[in-house]
Amino acid sequence: DDRGLVLAWYGMAMDGGEPNTDSPFRILTKDDKIKWLQLDVTPIVWHDKPAQLSVLHDVTNRKRKEEKRQQAKKMEAIGLLAGGVAHDLNNILSGIVSYPELLLQMLPPDSPLCSHVETMHDAGLRASAVVSDLLTVARVVANNRHVVDINVLAEKFLHMPECELLKERYPKIRLISRFYQGPVAVLCSEIHIQKSIMNLIFNAFEAIKEDGGEVVLSTDWQELSDEEALALNLKAGPYAILSVSDTGLGISEDQKEHIFEPFYTKKSMGRSGTGLGLTVVWNTIVDHDGAIDIKSSEKGTRFSLYLTLAQIPIDEKESIAKPGELVVNEGSEKRILIVEDEAQQREIGTQFLQFLKYSPESVASGEEAIEFLRHEKVDLLLLDMIMEPGINGRETYEQILESHPGQKALIVSGYAEHDEIAKAVKLGVGGLIKKPYTLKQLAGAVHKELNRT
C-alpha cells in the first residue's frame, strides 16, 4: 500500500526537490510481519553523477508506542463520557427493572398481561447490562482486587448460564478448554476478568457463527524477555496468559485499529450484545497494567491477554452479595431504614420491602439517617453509596456505628466494586445489593443479613 508513496519520494529527490519523508511507511517482512520504517533521502554527487544517500530507520517500536498513546487518549475521552451518564442511567433503569417484577408477583399466573410485563422486565435487564459495560469503560469499578487463579475464573465461565445459552445457539461450534496444569495466580478484579473472558468467547463464537468450527479457551504463563516485553509495551518478567482463539475468517489490519472502539462491528467479526464487548476487555486489561496481543489470519484469530503473574498466595474470597430466593418475612416485624438521595429509589425500595412484609422507613441523606437514629432503632440499614451533596454511605455507616455499635447494614450501589464499598465491608456492612436490583435479590440479601449472627 505504501510503495507508491516511497517511489514518489525518490522521484522528487532525483528531480532536486525535498520530499517530506517525516511520515513512516510500512514494509512486509519475509515472515509476513509488518514493520514501520522512516526514510531519509539526501541528494549527493557520486563519481561525478547525481545520486541519493538513503538511510532507513526502524521505527516500529516508536510507532507502536505512539499508537497506544493515541488509543489511550481516545479511550479516556470515551470513558469520561461513559462515566458521566452511567450513574444516572442506573437510577432511571431501576424503575424499569423493579416495577415489572412487582407486577408479576401481583398478577395471576394465567393473566395475558404477564408476557408483556416479562418483556418489559427483560428489556430493563438488557439495558442494565449496557450500563454495567459503560461503567467498565469509564474505568471506575476495577479497584477491588484479589489474588485468584485464572484457571478457576475460566472454569467458572464454562458453567455459567451464558455459556450454556451460547452453545445452544451455535450447536456446530465446539468450545474447547486447555488450561495450564497448576495454578496461574494474578492480582485482579474477578468481575472484570470474568467479563473479559465472556466477551472474548462471545466474540469468537459470533466470528464463526453458523458455519461451525472451534473456539479454544486456554491459560498459560510465560517469562517475557526484554525483547518480547517491549513488543507488548510491558516490562520483562513472568506473565499469566489467557487466550481465546477461533476458526473464523480473521481480522484485517484495518479492523485491528478499530476493534476496541465502542460499537465498532464488522460482519466478519463477533459483537457483544451491548456493542461494548471488546472495549470492556481493552479497558480492563489496561487498568490491570497488562497487554492484549492479537494474531489473525484467514484461518482464524487469537486474542491473548497478558497479566502480571502474582507471587503471593491465592485469596480465598467469598462473594458479598449472592442473590437469594424470594424469602418473605414471616417472623416479628422488622424495621428497615432506606437511606437514598433519589426519590424514585426510595419509593421502589419501600414498595419492595412492604411486599416482603417488612416495615420500611426512608430518608434522603446520610445526615438525615444519623438524625433519625438518634431517637429511633432499626433492624437494618439499606445505604446508597453515592449521595450528593452530603456524606456517602460508608461515611454514614461509620458515624452511625459510634452510637449504634453492631448495626446491621447493606450497601446499595451501581458500582459492583469500589474502594468505598470495600471499606464499608471492613466496618461491618454485610454485603452489596447492585443497582438496579430485582425483588428476588433484595429479598435474599435482606433475609441473609437479618439472620447473620
Q: By three-state DSSP, how is residue 122 classified?
A: helix
- What the block records as the C-alpha cell of 136 is 467498565
Q: pLDDT averaged over the chain?
A: 81
Positive or negative: CA dihedral 147, 151, 156, 157: positive
Q: How far apart are the C-alpha atoms of 341 and 343, rounded to whole Å?
A: 6
Whole-angstrom CA distances from 398 to 153, 154, 380 are 34, 37, 15
Q: Quick one: average pLDDT of 320-330?
A: 47
- What the block records as the C-alpha cell of 219 is 491459560
Q: What is the CATH number of domain 335-450?
A: 3.40.50.2300
* pLDDT more than 70, % of the chain: 80
| pLDDT (0 to 100) of residue 351 | 92
Q: How far apart are the C-alpha atoms of 226 and 230, rounded to whole Å?
A: 6
251: pLDDT strictly greater than 70: yes
- What the block records as the C-alpha cell of 156 is 467458572
Q: How far apart are the C-alpha atoms of 388 and 444, rounded to whole Å?
A: 28
Banded pLDDT at 270 (limits 50, 70, 90): very low
Beta-carbon contacts of residue 82 (< 8 Å; ≥ 6 apart): 134, 135, 137, 138, 262
Whole-angstrom CA distances from 273 to 37, 97, 133, 202, 262 are 39, 18, 10, 9, 12
pLDDT in tens, 167-183: 888 899 999 999 998 88
Report residue 323: phi and psi, to 5°. -65, 135
**Where do the H-state alpha helices sit in 34-177?**
60-106, 114-137, 150-158, 161-169
Question: What's the pTM value of the predicted model, to 2 decimals?
Answer: 0.53
Comparing 22-31, 203-212, 268-277, 391-400, the range with the smallest average pLDDT is: 268-277
Domain boundaries defined on the chain:
3-58, 63-137, 146-308, 335-450
| pLDDT (0 to 100) of residue 180 | 93
Task: Write down the number of H helices and E strands in the chain.
Answer: 14, 15
Q: How far apart are the C-alpha atoms of 58 and 56, rounded to whole Å?
A: 7
Q: What is the CATH number of domain 146-308?
A: 3.30.565.10
Q: What is the CATH number of domain 63-137?
A: 1.10.287.130
312: pLDDT strictly greater than 80: no
Q: How far apart are the C-alpha atoms of 170 and 105, rounded to whole Å?
A: 34
Q: Nearest-CA neighbor of 249 among 305, 278, 200, 209?
A: 209
| pLDDT (0 to 100) of residue 330 | 62
pLDDT in tens, 88-108: 777 777 788 888 888 888 888
Same fold, 63-137 and 146-308: no
Q: By three-state DSSP, how is residue 12 classified?
A: helix
Q: Quick one: average pLDDT of 320-328?
A: 44
Residue 158 CB-density burial (10 A; 0-12 exposed, 13-18 middle, 19+ buried): middle
Q: How far apart are the C-alpha atoms of 351 and 353, rounded to whole Å?
A: 6
72: pLDDT strictly greater than 70: no
Q: Which residue has the higher pLDDT, 210 or 299?
A: 299
Cβ atoms within 10 A of the Cβ of 374, count? Answer: 8
Q: Which residue has the higher pLDDT, 169 or 141?
A: 169
| pLDDT (0 to 100) of residue 371 | 96
